[in-house]
Amino acid sequence: MTTLRTPAQLCEHGLAPPDRQSALTAVAARYAVAVPDALAQLINRADPQDPIARQIVPDAAELLHRPEELNDPIGDDEYSPVDGIVHRYPDRVLLKLTHICAVYCRFCFRREMVGPGKPNALSPQALVRAIEYIRTHPEIWEVILTGGDPLVLSARRLRSVMNALADIDHVKVVRIHTRVPVADPRRVTPALVRAMKIRGKPTYVAIHINHPRELTADARAACSRMADAGIPLLSQTVLLAGVNDTPDVMGQLMRALIECRIKPYYLHHADLAPGTSHLRTGIATGQRLMRYLRGRLSGLCQPTYVLDIPGGHGKSPIAPNYIERMQSNGVGHFVVEDFNGQQHQYPPPAANVGSP
């Protein structure tokens, strides 16, 4: 089986019931579909709520658009000075090399922009202009290759972009955002890993992983090929209803990441992408999970829980608060909560000699 791209193929392979085919055809007409073999094999066809299927098999609920949902939920367009570049924060830019992915996630915040037939493929001329933008903005310290998925490019094309970035002195770090190591791990060949490396500068790879089952033997081997080549690995996880919104699953995922030499980086609150309300949780759910992780798992297993503020205002950490400023008898102090939920005064009362 190769990548499944139509509702008819999904029905034929038992990933969608035939009576839903026409509704799913309406979904597929609007949002790209790709279910690669590596992920299709993980789906338990007997489980209608399978957490892998929920992420990648289209659902008629995607046709339900809520008023608060936005076509460009994190405001990329507003911060795009030239095609392919998003310059939101002063010291870094996104460079969107392609609009193609190995898998199309049903909750994707760029779902209106990714997939075959979308109008924003980066032409060779536009790529030259994007590199020129980076070259002429000395404040850019880090370039983040994203998309689409930059690791669907050939090793030759990726290497030519990396060489162009290597020649720009003020760019000190390159980061690649990708789902390929779990969606199509055999694509991460030694040649592609060599192409990810950049002369004289570090490449970081941030891998999008949402469920511990995605870390198959093949995915782990792909991650090892990158880690063994000296590439630091980070993770990005999207908090998704019915996928990873329980302490058990989230805890297993964070531990499995560390065991694979992947440092948990971001836990994203799901964005207000159109037709994704069935996959979003409340922020209180994410905060409960973060308390669970902080209370029971190693410090290595702690991601930063973030919300991309709609309208392009960037990411903010939204983890629960453990410290509060208090005032008693005219003297200020803090109250800090420990990992068991117990509260403590800081500085302790005996040492409280003045306002902190």
The number of angstroms, rounded, from the C-alpha of 119 to the middle of its chain's C-alpha atoms is 23
Judged by beta carbon, residue 148 or residue 333, the one nearer ligand SF4 is 148
C-alpha to C-alpha distance for 268 and 282, rounded to whole angstroms: 12
The residue within the footprint of ligand SF4, chosen from 43, 114, 165, 219 (CB under 6 A), is 114
| Residue 146 CB, nearest approach to ligand SF4 (Å) | 7
Judged by beta carbon, residue 103 or residue 171, the one nearer ligand SF4 is 103
Q: Which span (70-78, 107-115, 279-287, 348-356) binds ligand SF4, by CB under 6 A? A: 107-115
C-alpha to C-alpha distance for 300 and 294, rounded to whole angstroms: 10
Using CA atoms, how far residue 277 sits from 139, 215, 246, 272, in Å, is 38, 26, 18, 8
Enumerate residues 176-195 that contact ligand SF4 by CB under 6 A: 179
The residue within the footprint of ligand SF4, chosen from 54, 88, 96, 110 (CB under 6 A), is 110
CB hemisphere CA count around 316 (13 angstroms): 7
Omega before 147 within 30 of 0, i.e. cis: no
C-alpha to C-alpha distance for 104 and 32, rounded to whole angstroms: 6
Using CA atoms, how far residue 1 sits from 13, 42, 221, in Å, is 9, 13, 21
- Catalytic residue set: 88-89, 92, 101, 105, 108, 110, 271, 308, 315
Residue whose entry in the numeric block shows the structure tokens 């990005």: 236
Judged by beta carbon, residue 118 or residue 197, the one nearer ligand SF4 is 118
Enumerate residues 207-226 that contact ligand SF4 by CB under 6 A: 208
The residue within the footprint of ligand SF4, chosen from 28, 108, 267, 279 (CB under 6 A), is 108
Contact status: 86 vs ligand SF4 (CB under 6 A): no
| Residue 236 CB, nearest approach to ligand SF4 (Å) | 9
Quick one: which of 258, 232, 233, 254 has its CA closest to 244? 254
The residue within the footprint of ligand SF4, chosen from 50, 59, 62, 149 (CB under 6 A), is 149
Enumerate residues 256-315 that contact ligand SF4 by CB under 6 A: none
C-alpha to C-alpha distance for 296 and 254, rounded to whole angstroms: 12
Enumerate residues 87-106 that contact ligand SF4 by CB under 6 A: 101, 103-105
| Residue 192 CB, nearest approach to ligand SF4 (Å) | 16
Residue whose entry in the numeric block shows the structure tokens 């597929």: 28
Binding-site ranges for ligand SF4 (CB under 6 A):
101, 103-105, 108, 110, 114, 147-149, 179, 208
